[in-house]
């Protein structure tokens, strides 16, 4: 079933209590984190497909001692443990390479700046269908972004879960 981005947005406008009940029903440790609606939907879909995450990770606290602006914030952390590794999950509502690249680049760069690692991603298109062209472009991600290479990339779209076989040469 194809979902238009506006339909997906309307589904997220349910009362928080509904989302809390759905989060509780996931049956995975969430370490006290309140998950966003799109994160709950992602875990539900991964469970439906037989690929459930084993844990949802908490956000880390981070107070950089050498920050010249004295900013305080969270050290970047990945979202979940999946297939034995930490993964970052991102919902992207555009089927354009530039939108996916921007999401990955931003997360990888910010993590590097703060001494963390984000190199495994699941991109959730929220029920939209990835084109063959986009899949080809995503395979080239590491070649096109040599300073922000990643180890693994998976896509969840209207057809299911796909591993993108990243080219490194």
Q: What is the mean pLDDT of residues 140-144?
A: 97
Across residues 40-46, what is the average pLDDT? 95
pLDDT at site 6: 46
The better pLDDT of the pair 116, 128 is held by 128
Each residue of 90-122: pLDDT tens digit?
Answer: 999 999 999 999 999 999 998 888 788 999 999
Note the pLDDT of residue 64.
Answer: 57
| Res 32: pLDDT | 86
Q: Looking at residue 4, what is its pLDDT?
A: 42
| Percentage of the residues of the chain whose pLDDT score is greater than 90 | 69
Q: What distance in Å separates the CA atoms of residue 5 and residue 43, rounded to the nearest whole number?
A: 19
Q: How many residues does the chain have?
A: 169
Give the residues across from 81 on adjacent strands.
55, 86
pLDDT band at 58 (very low <50, low <70, confident <90, very high): confident
Residue 92 contacts residue 124 (beta carbons within 8 Å): yes
Contacts of 167 (CB under 8 A, 6+ apart): 139, 140, 142, 143
Going by DSSP bridges, is the β-strand pair 120-124/80-82 parallel, antiparallel, or unpaired? unpaired
**Weakest-pLDDT range from 17-21, 42-46, 58-62, 155-159:** 58-62
For 73-91, write each residue's pLDDT tens digit: 667 789 999 999 999 999 9
Which pTM does this prediction carry?
0.83
């Amino acid at each position: 079933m194809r979902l238009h981005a506006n339909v997906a947005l309307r589904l997220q406008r349910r009362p928080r209590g509904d989302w809390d009940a759905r989060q509780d029903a996931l049956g995975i440790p969430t370490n006290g984190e309140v998950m966003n609606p799109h994160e709950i939907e992602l875990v539900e879909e991964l469970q439906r497909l037989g690929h459930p995450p084993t844990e949802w990770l908490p956000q880390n606290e981070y107070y950089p001692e050498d920050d010249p602006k004295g900013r305080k914030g969270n050290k970047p952390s990945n979202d979940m443990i999946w297939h034995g590794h930490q993964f970052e999950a991102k919902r992207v509502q555009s089927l354009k390479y530039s939108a996916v690249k921007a999401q990955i680049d931003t997360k990888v760069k910010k993590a590097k700046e703060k001494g963390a690692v984000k190199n495994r991603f699941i991109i959730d298109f929220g029920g939209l269908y990835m084109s063959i062209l986009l899949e080809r472009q995503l395979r080239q991600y590491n070649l096109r972004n040599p300073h922000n290479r990643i180890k693994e990339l998976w896509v969840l779209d209207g057809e299911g879960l796909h591993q993108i076989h990243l080219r490194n040469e």
